[in-house]
Amino acid sequence: MSIFHGLNTSASALTSQRLRMDVISANMANAESTRARMVDGEWEPYRRKMVVMQPNEKQPFSAFLHQAMGRSTNSEVGNGVKVSAIVDDQTPFKEMYDPEHPDANEEGYVQLPNVDPLREMVDLMSATRSYEANVTTLNASKNMLLKALEIGR
Q: How far apart are the C-alpha atoms of 36 and 111, rounded to whole Å?
A: 12
- How far, in Å, CA of 128 to CA of 16, rounded? 11
Task: Reply yes or no on whether the pLDDT at 82 is more than 60.
Answer: yes
d(CA 16, CA 12): 6
Least confident of 36-50, 75-89, 91-105, 131-145: 75-89
Mean per-residue pLDDT, 81-87: 92
pLDDT at residue 77 is higher than 60: no
| 85-122 residue pLDDT tens | 999 999 999 999 999 998 888 999 999 999 999 999 99
* pLDDT-derived band at 62, boundaries 50, 70, 90: low
Q: Is the pLDDT of residue 79 over 80?
A: no
Q: How far apart are the first and last CA of the chain?
A: 24
Task: For residue 100, give every residue at least 6 positions away whose Cβ sits within 8 Å of its Cβ, in sequence order, or none.
Answer: none
Q: Return the pLDDT at 5.
A: 79
Q: Closest Cα partner for 17 from 139, 118, 141, 123?
A: 123
Residue 60: what pLDDT? Answer: 61
How confident is the model at residue 39, as a pLDDT?
Answer: 81
Kindly state the helix (H) or strand (E) to which residue 130 belongs, with its residue range: helix 117-151
Max distance between CA atoms of the chain, in angstroms, equals 79
- What is the distance between the alpha carbons of residues 32 and 66, in angstroms, rounded to a whole number? 51
Q: Strand, helix or coil at 69?
A: helix
